[in-house]
Amino acid sequence: MDFQLSDEQKLISEAAREFADREILPRVRDNDRAARFDRELARKMGEVGYLGAPVAEEYGGRELDHIGYGLIVEQIGRADSSARTVVSVVTSLVGGSIERWGSEEQKMRWLPRLCSGEALGCFGLTEPDTGSDAANLRTRATRTDSGWSISGQKMWISLANFSEVALIFAQTDPALKHRGLACFLVPTESEGFTTQEIHGKLGLRSSDTAEISLDEVEVGDDAMLGAVGDGFKVAMSALDSGRYSVAAGCVGICDGCVDASVAYSKERKQFGVPLARFQLVQEMIADMILKRDASRMLVYRAGVLKDEGKPNTMETSVAKLFATESAVECANLAIQVHGGSGYVDDYPVERYLRDARVTTLYEGTSQIQKLIIGRAATGINAMLPFEES
Protein backbone atom coordinates (compact mmCIF):
# COMPACT_ATOMS: atom_id res chain seq x y z
CA MET A 1 0.00 0.00 0.00
CA ASP A 2 1.48 3.33 -1.12
CA PHE A 3 0.77 6.30 1.13
CA GLN A 4 2.74 8.72 -1.05
CA LEU A 5 1.13 11.28 -3.32
CA SER A 6 2.33 11.34 -6.91
CA ASP A 7 4.31 14.34 -8.16
CA GLU A 8 1.22 15.50 -10.06
CA GLN A 9 -0.95 15.24 -6.95
CA LYS A 10 1.60 17.20 -4.91
CA LEU A 11 1.54 19.95 -7.56
CA ILE A 12 -2.27 19.98 -7.50
CA SER A 13 -2.26 20.44 -3.73
CA GLU A 14 0.46 23.11 -3.80
CA ALA A 15 -1.30 25.06 -6.55
CA ALA A 16 -4.61 24.92 -4.68
CA ARG A 17 -2.92 26.10 -1.49
CA GLU A 18 -1.30 29.02 -3.32
CA PHE A 19 -4.63 29.93 -4.91
CA ALA A 20 -6.39 29.82 -1.55
CA ASP A 21 -3.72 31.96 0.11
CA ARG A 22 -3.78 34.50 -2.71
CA GLU A 23 -7.46 34.70 -3.66
CA ILE A 24 -9.45 33.55 -0.63
CA LEU A 25 -7.67 34.37 2.62
CA PRO A 26 -7.33 38.15 2.03
CA ARG A 27 -11.10 38.56 1.74
CA VAL A 28 -12.46 35.81 3.96
CA ARG A 29 -12.92 37.81 7.17
CA ASP A 30 -14.64 40.74 5.46
CA ASN A 31 -16.96 38.42 3.54
CA ASP A 32 -17.79 36.53 6.73
CA ARG A 33 -18.52 39.70 8.68
CA ALA A 34 -20.71 41.08 5.90
CA ALA A 35 -22.39 37.69 5.25
CA ARG A 36 -21.54 38.41 1.60
CA PHE A 37 -21.54 35.73 -1.08
CA ASP A 38 -18.48 36.32 -3.26
CA ARG A 39 -19.67 35.63 -6.81
CA GLU A 40 -16.40 36.89 -8.27
CA LEU A 41 -14.44 34.36 -6.22
CA ALA A 42 -16.71 31.58 -7.50
CA ARG A 43 -15.93 32.70 -11.04
CA LYS A 44 -12.19 32.65 -10.33
CA MET A 45 -12.43 29.13 -8.95
CA GLY A 46 -14.10 28.12 -12.18
CA GLU A 47 -11.40 29.77 -14.27
CA VAL A 48 -8.68 27.68 -12.61
CA GLY A 49 -10.69 24.47 -12.96
CA TYR A 50 -11.82 23.95 -9.38
CA LEU A 51 -15.55 23.75 -10.19
CA GLY A 52 -15.23 20.73 -12.45
CA ALA A 53 -12.05 18.99 -11.42
CA PRO A 54 -13.29 15.39 -11.84
CA VAL A 55 -15.55 16.14 -14.84
CA ALA A 56 -14.43 14.86 -18.25
CA GLU A 57 -12.41 17.27 -20.36
CA GLU A 58 -14.91 17.05 -23.23
CA TYR A 59 -17.44 18.77 -20.97
CA GLY A 60 -15.07 21.44 -19.70
CA GLY A 61 -13.61 19.65 -16.67
CA ARG A 62 -10.05 18.67 -15.76
CA GLU A 63 -10.75 14.93 -15.52
CA LEU A 64 -8.80 14.59 -12.27
CA ASP A 65 -9.06 11.51 -10.09
CA HIS A 66 -10.84 11.72 -6.76
CA ILE A 67 -7.61 12.02 -4.80
CA GLY A 68 -6.67 15.10 -6.83
CA TYR A 69 -10.15 16.54 -6.40
CA GLY A 70 -10.02 15.88 -2.65
CA LEU A 71 -6.68 17.68 -2.38
CA ILE A 72 -8.19 20.77 -4.02
CA VAL A 73 -11.19 20.70 -1.71
CA GLU A 74 -8.94 20.28 1.33
CA GLN A 75 -6.95 23.41 0.51
CA ILE A 76 -10.04 25.48 -0.28
CA GLY A 77 -11.62 24.26 2.97
CA ARG A 78 -8.52 25.23 4.94
CA ALA A 79 -8.99 28.80 3.75
CA ASP A 80 -12.78 29.13 3.83
CA SER A 81 -15.59 26.60 4.15
CA SER A 82 -17.99 28.96 2.38
CA ALA A 83 -15.79 28.84 -0.73
CA ARG A 84 -15.46 25.07 -0.30
CA THR A 85 -19.25 24.85 -0.33
CA VAL A 86 -19.31 26.34 -3.82
CA VAL A 87 -16.84 23.71 -5.03
CA SER A 88 -18.71 20.85 -3.36
CA VAL A 89 -22.17 21.82 -4.57
CA VAL A 90 -21.30 22.74 -8.15
CA THR A 91 -18.89 19.83 -8.65
CA SER A 92 -20.05 16.92 -6.51
CA LEU A 93 -23.80 17.44 -6.25
CA VAL A 94 -24.73 19.16 -9.50
CA GLY A 95 -22.01 18.62 -12.10
CA GLY A 96 -21.31 15.04 -11.06
CA SER A 97 -25.01 14.16 -11.20
CA ILE A 98 -25.43 15.64 -14.66
CA GLU A 99 -22.33 13.85 -15.97
CA ARG A 100 -23.43 10.48 -14.54
CA TRP A 101 -27.16 10.59 -15.21
CA GLY A 102 -27.72 13.23 -17.88
CA SER A 103 -28.31 12.94 -21.60
CA GLU A 104 -25.66 14.16 -24.00
CA GLU A 105 -27.75 17.25 -24.66
CA GLN A 106 -28.05 17.99 -20.92
CA LYS A 107 -24.31 17.51 -20.44
CA MET A 108 -23.38 19.81 -23.30
CA ARG A 109 -25.87 22.46 -22.21
CA TRP A 110 -24.85 22.72 -18.57
CA LEU A 111 -21.46 21.17 -17.75
CA PRO A 112 -19.15 23.58 -19.63
CA ARG A 113 -20.88 26.56 -18.03
CA LEU A 114 -20.75 25.02 -14.55
CA CYS A 115 -17.11 23.97 -14.84
CA SER A 116 -16.02 27.42 -16.01
CA GLY A 117 -17.91 29.25 -13.27
CA GLU A 118 -20.03 31.07 -15.84
CA ALA A 119 -23.07 29.42 -14.26
CA LEU A 120 -23.73 27.96 -10.83
CA GLY A 121 -26.06 25.15 -9.84
CA CYS A 122 -27.88 24.09 -6.68
CA PHE A 123 -29.17 20.79 -5.31
CA GLY A 124 -32.84 20.88 -4.35
CA LEU A 125 -33.47 17.81 -2.21
CA THR A 126 -34.12 18.95 1.39
CA GLU A 127 -37.55 20.28 2.29
CA PRO A 128 -38.96 22.08 5.36
CA ASP A 129 -40.37 18.79 6.68
CA THR A 130 -38.02 16.32 5.00
CA GLY A 131 -34.29 15.98 5.50
CA SER A 132 -32.88 12.47 5.70
CA ASP A 133 -36.20 10.85 4.72
CA ALA A 134 -35.75 11.49 0.99
CA ALA A 135 -38.37 8.94 -0.05
CA ASN A 136 -41.19 11.07 1.41
CA LEU A 137 -40.76 14.38 -0.40
CA ARG A 138 -43.80 16.63 -0.59
CA THR A 139 -42.73 18.39 -3.77
CA ARG A 140 -44.89 17.02 -6.57
CA ALA A 141 -44.28 16.61 -10.29
CA THR A 142 -47.50 16.19 -12.27
CA ARG A 143 -47.72 15.04 -15.86
CA THR A 144 -48.91 17.63 -18.41
CA ASP A 145 -49.43 17.56 -22.16
CA SER A 146 -46.03 19.16 -22.73
CA GLY A 147 -44.01 17.65 -19.87
CA TRP A 148 -44.26 18.22 -16.11
CA SER A 149 -45.58 20.75 -13.62
CA ILE A 150 -43.62 20.98 -10.38
CA SER A 151 -44.89 22.48 -7.13
CA GLY A 152 -43.38 22.45 -3.66
CA GLN A 153 -40.73 23.93 -1.37
CA LYS A 154 -37.08 23.26 -0.77
CA MET A 155 -35.12 24.36 2.31
CA TRP A 156 -31.47 24.98 3.23
CA ILE A 157 -30.39 25.03 -0.41
CA SER A 158 -26.84 26.30 -0.95
CA LEU A 159 -26.30 28.74 -3.87
CA ALA A 160 -30.00 28.86 -4.72
CA ASN A 161 -30.10 32.67 -5.01
CA PHE A 162 -27.18 32.72 -7.46
CA SER A 163 -27.74 29.57 -9.51
CA GLU A 164 -28.77 29.32 -13.12
CA VAL A 165 -29.96 25.72 -12.79
CA ALA A 166 -31.43 23.71 -9.92
CA LEU A 167 -31.60 19.95 -9.55
CA ILE A 168 -35.11 19.55 -8.17
CA PHE A 169 -36.23 16.24 -6.70
CA ALA A 170 -39.97 15.63 -6.81
CA GLN A 171 -42.41 12.82 -6.19
CA THR A 172 -44.44 11.73 -9.22
CA ASP A 173 -46.54 9.17 -7.32
CA PRO A 174 -46.58 9.12 -3.49
CA ALA A 175 -47.79 5.53 -3.47
CA LEU A 176 -44.53 4.43 -5.08
CA LYS A 177 -42.39 6.14 -2.40
CA HIS A 178 -38.73 6.15 -3.53
CA ARG A 179 -39.64 4.40 -6.79
CA GLY A 180 -41.71 7.43 -7.78
CA LEU A 181 -38.97 10.03 -7.30
CA ALA A 182 -37.69 11.97 -10.26
CA CYS A 183 -34.97 14.58 -10.66
CA PHE A 184 -35.39 17.58 -12.94
CA LEU A 185 -32.96 20.16 -14.28
CA VAL A 186 -34.91 23.35 -13.72
CA PRO A 187 -33.60 26.70 -15.01
CA THR A 188 -33.98 29.15 -12.14
CA GLU A 189 -35.37 31.78 -14.48
CA SER A 190 -38.46 29.60 -14.98
CA GLU A 191 -41.82 31.20 -14.21
CA GLY A 192 -43.00 30.15 -10.74
CA PHE A 193 -39.45 29.53 -9.44
CA THR A 194 -38.56 31.90 -6.58
CA THR A 195 -35.98 31.95 -3.81
CA GLN A 196 -35.75 33.54 -0.37
CA GLU A 197 -32.42 34.06 1.39
CA ILE A 198 -32.02 32.46 4.83
CA HIS A 199 -30.47 34.83 7.37
CA GLY A 200 -28.95 34.39 10.82
CA LYS A 201 -26.77 31.33 10.25
CA LEU A 202 -24.23 30.32 12.90
CA GLY A 203 -21.56 29.67 10.28
CA LEU A 204 -20.94 29.61 6.54
CA ARG A 205 -22.02 33.23 6.63
CA SER A 206 -20.57 34.07 3.22
CA SER A 207 -22.16 31.02 1.63
CA ASP A 208 -25.55 31.63 0.05
CA THR A 209 -28.37 29.59 1.61
CA ALA A 210 -31.99 29.87 0.56
CA GLU A 211 -35.48 28.48 0.48
CA ILE A 212 -36.89 27.60 -2.94
CA SER A 213 -40.57 27.85 -3.83
CA LEU A 214 -41.93 26.15 -6.94
CA ASP A 215 -45.41 27.17 -8.02
CA GLU A 216 -46.50 25.07 -11.00
CA VAL A 217 -43.11 25.37 -12.67
CA GLU A 218 -43.41 23.94 -16.19
CA VAL A 219 -40.58 21.85 -17.66
CA GLY A 220 -40.38 19.55 -20.65
CA ASP A 221 -39.62 15.84 -20.69
CA ASP A 222 -36.07 16.72 -21.66
CA ALA A 223 -35.57 18.33 -18.22
CA MET A 224 -35.72 15.00 -16.39
CA LEU A 225 -32.38 13.56 -15.27
CA GLY A 226 -32.69 9.87 -16.02
CA ALA A 227 -36.21 8.44 -15.75
CA VAL A 228 -39.06 8.33 -13.26
CA GLY A 229 -37.80 6.26 -10.35
CA ASP A 230 -34.19 7.25 -10.89
CA GLY A 231 -34.49 10.28 -8.63
CA PHE A 232 -33.64 8.35 -5.48
CA LYS A 233 -30.55 6.81 -7.12
CA VAL A 234 -29.48 10.24 -8.41
CA ALA A 235 -29.79 11.70 -4.91
CA MET A 236 -27.93 8.87 -3.18
CA SER A 237 -25.06 8.85 -5.69
CA ALA A 238 -24.77 12.63 -5.43
CA LEU A 239 -24.68 12.46 -1.63
CA ASP A 240 -21.94 9.83 -1.79
CA SER A 241 -19.88 12.27 -3.83
CA GLY A 242 -20.87 15.27 -1.72
CA ARG A 243 -19.96 13.53 1.53
CA TYR A 244 -16.50 12.86 0.15
CA SER A 245 -15.96 16.53 -0.65
CA VAL A 246 -17.30 17.64 2.75
CA ALA A 247 -14.92 15.22 4.46
CA ALA A 248 -11.98 16.51 2.43
CA GLY A 249 -12.91 20.09 3.28
CA CYS A 250 -12.99 19.20 6.96
CA VAL A 251 -9.46 17.82 6.70
CA GLY A 252 -8.62 21.35 5.61
CA ILE A 253 -10.29 22.80 8.71
CA CYS A 254 -8.30 20.42 10.92
CA ASP A 255 -5.10 21.41 9.12
CA GLY A 256 -5.90 25.10 9.51
CA CYS A 257 -6.47 24.59 13.23
CA VAL A 258 -3.10 22.91 13.60
CA ASP A 259 -1.28 25.63 11.65
CA ALA A 260 -2.96 28.46 13.57
CA SER A 261 -2.39 26.82 16.96
CA VAL A 262 1.26 26.01 16.34
CA ALA A 263 1.96 29.56 15.17
CA TYR A 264 0.08 31.19 18.05
CA SER A 265 1.55 28.95 20.74
CA LYS A 266 5.09 29.77 19.60
CA GLU A 267 4.61 33.54 19.51
CA ARG A 268 2.34 34.04 22.53
CA LYS A 269 4.11 34.12 25.89
CA GLN A 270 2.81 33.42 29.39
CA PHE A 271 4.90 33.34 32.56
CA GLY A 272 7.86 34.42 30.46
CA VAL A 273 7.83 31.44 28.06
CA PRO A 274 5.95 30.58 24.84
CA LEU A 275 2.65 28.75 25.25
CA ALA A 276 4.19 25.90 23.29
CA ARG A 277 6.42 25.25 26.30
CA PHE A 278 3.45 24.02 28.33
CA GLN A 279 2.76 20.30 28.20
CA LEU A 280 -1.04 20.58 28.09
CA VAL A 281 -0.85 22.98 25.14
CA GLN A 282 1.31 20.46 23.29
CA GLU A 283 -1.25 17.79 24.18
CA MET A 284 -4.03 19.79 22.50
CA ILE A 285 -1.91 20.31 19.40
CA ALA A 286 -1.03 16.61 19.31
CA ASP A 287 -4.73 15.70 19.55
CA MET A 288 -5.46 17.97 16.58
CA ILE A 289 -2.70 16.37 14.51
CA LEU A 290 -4.02 12.89 15.30
CA LYS A 291 -7.53 13.84 14.17
CA ARG A 292 -6.24 15.62 11.06
CA ASP A 293 -4.03 12.76 9.93
CA ALA A 294 -6.61 10.05 10.63
CA SER A 295 -9.27 12.05 8.77
CA ARG A 296 -6.95 12.54 5.81
CA MET A 297 -6.20 8.81 5.56
CA LEU A 298 -9.90 7.95 5.66
CA VAL A 299 -10.58 10.46 2.87
CA TYR A 300 -7.74 8.97 0.82
CA ARG A 301 -9.18 5.48 1.30
CA ALA A 302 -12.59 6.57 0.06
CA GLY A 303 -11.01 8.42 -2.86
CA VAL A 304 -8.95 5.40 -3.95
CA LEU A 305 -12.05 3.18 -3.90
CA LYS A 306 -13.95 5.73 -5.98
CA ASP A 307 -11.13 5.88 -8.50
CA GLU A 308 -11.03 2.09 -8.70
CA GLY A 309 -14.79 1.97 -9.29
CA LYS A 310 -15.36 -0.16 -6.21
CA PRO A 311 -18.27 0.13 -3.73
CA ASN A 312 -17.45 2.87 -1.25
CA THR A 313 -20.66 4.07 0.41
CA MET A 314 -19.63 2.76 3.82
CA GLU A 315 -16.05 4.03 3.54
CA THR A 316 -17.27 7.44 2.40
CA SER A 317 -19.64 7.60 5.37
CA VAL A 318 -16.78 6.66 7.72
CA ALA A 319 -14.67 9.47 6.26
CA LYS A 320 -17.51 11.98 6.43
CA LEU A 321 -18.44 11.05 10.01
CA PHE A 322 -14.91 11.08 11.37
CA ALA A 323 -13.64 14.14 9.50
CA THR A 324 -16.63 16.35 10.30
CA GLU A 325 -16.66 15.47 13.99
CA SER A 326 -12.87 15.89 14.07
CA ALA A 327 -13.16 19.34 12.51
CA VAL A 328 -15.50 20.46 15.30
CA GLU A 329 -13.20 19.00 17.94
CA CYS A 330 -10.06 20.51 16.40
CA ALA A 331 -11.66 23.94 16.15
CA ASN A 332 -12.76 23.76 19.77
CA LEU A 333 -9.24 22.78 20.84
CA ALA A 334 -7.73 25.53 18.70
CA ILE A 335 -9.87 28.14 20.43
CA GLN A 336 -8.69 26.75 23.77
CA VAL A 337 -5.07 27.14 22.67
CA HIS A 338 -5.75 30.74 21.62
CA GLY A 339 -7.63 31.55 24.84
CA GLY A 340 -9.58 34.81 24.69
CA SER A 341 -7.96 35.70 21.38
CA GLY A 342 -9.62 32.66 19.83
CA TYR A 343 -13.07 33.96 20.68
CA VAL A 344 -12.88 36.87 18.24
CA ASP A 345 -12.27 36.90 14.51
CA ASP A 346 -8.77 38.36 14.64
CA TYR A 347 -7.78 34.70 14.30
CA PRO A 348 -9.50 32.12 12.04
CA VAL A 349 -10.23 29.53 14.71
CA GLU A 350 -13.60 30.91 15.86
CA ARG A 351 -14.77 30.83 12.23
CA TYR A 352 -13.48 27.28 11.88
CA LEU A 353 -15.72 26.23 14.76
CA ARG A 354 -18.80 28.00 13.41
CA ASP A 355 -18.26 26.65 9.91
CA ALA A 356 -17.41 23.10 11.01
CA ARG A 357 -20.56 22.65 13.06
CA VAL A 358 -22.93 22.38 10.11
CA THR A 359 -20.85 19.69 8.42
CA THR A 360 -22.11 17.20 11.00
CA LEU A 361 -25.67 18.01 9.86
CA TYR A 362 -25.91 18.35 6.10
CA GLU A 363 -25.53 15.66 3.44
CA GLY A 364 -26.52 13.18 6.13
CA THR A 365 -26.17 13.88 9.84
CA SER A 366 -23.54 12.08 11.89
CA GLN A 367 -26.32 9.81 13.15
CA ILE A 368 -27.32 8.91 9.57
CA GLN A 369 -23.68 8.09 8.78
CA LYS A 370 -23.61 5.74 11.77
CA LEU A 371 -26.75 4.00 10.49
CA ILE A 372 -25.16 3.59 7.06
CA ILE A 373 -22.05 2.11 8.66
CA GLY A 374 -24.18 -0.12 10.90
CA ARG A 375 -26.19 -1.34 7.91
CA ALA A 376 -22.97 -2.27 6.10
CA ALA A 377 -21.73 -4.17 9.16
CA THR A 378 -24.93 -6.06 10.04
CA GLY A 379 -26.84 -6.26 6.78
CA ILE A 380 -29.86 -4.80 8.58
CA ASN A 381 -31.33 -1.45 7.52
CA ALA A 382 -32.25 0.36 10.73
CA MET A 383 -33.58 3.31 8.72
CA LEU A 384 -36.63 1.36 7.57
CA PRO A 385 -39.82 1.28 9.68
CA PHE A 386 -39.97 -1.86 11.81
CA GLU A 387 -42.77 -3.33 9.72
CA GLU A 388 -40.58 -3.07 6.60
CA SER A 389 -37.25 -4.21 8.04
Which residues are marked as active site? 363
Strand partners of residue 157: 210
199: how many CB neighbours lie within 10 A of its CB? Answer: 8
Terminal Cα distance for the chain, rounded: 38
Query: Alpha helices, DSSP H only, in 169-230?
Result: none
**Integer Cα distance of 361 and 326 in angstroms:** 14
Strands (E), 61-208: 121-124, 140-143, 147-158, 165-171, 181-187, 193-197
Give 387's Cβ-side CA count (13 Å radius).
Answer: 0
Give CA separation, 158 vs 82, 100, 204, 374, in Å.
10, 21, 10, 29
CB proximity list for 202: less than 8 A, separation 6 or greater: 354, 357, 358
Question: What is the identity of the amino acid at 173?
Answer: D
**Integer Cα distance of 355 and 188 in angstroms:** 27
Computed over its alpha carbons, how large is the radius of gyration of the chain?
21
Helix (H) or strand (E) segment spanning residue 216 = strand 209-220
**Integer Cα distance of 371 and 376 in angstroms:** 9
CA angle 198, 112, 50 (to 5 degrees): 65
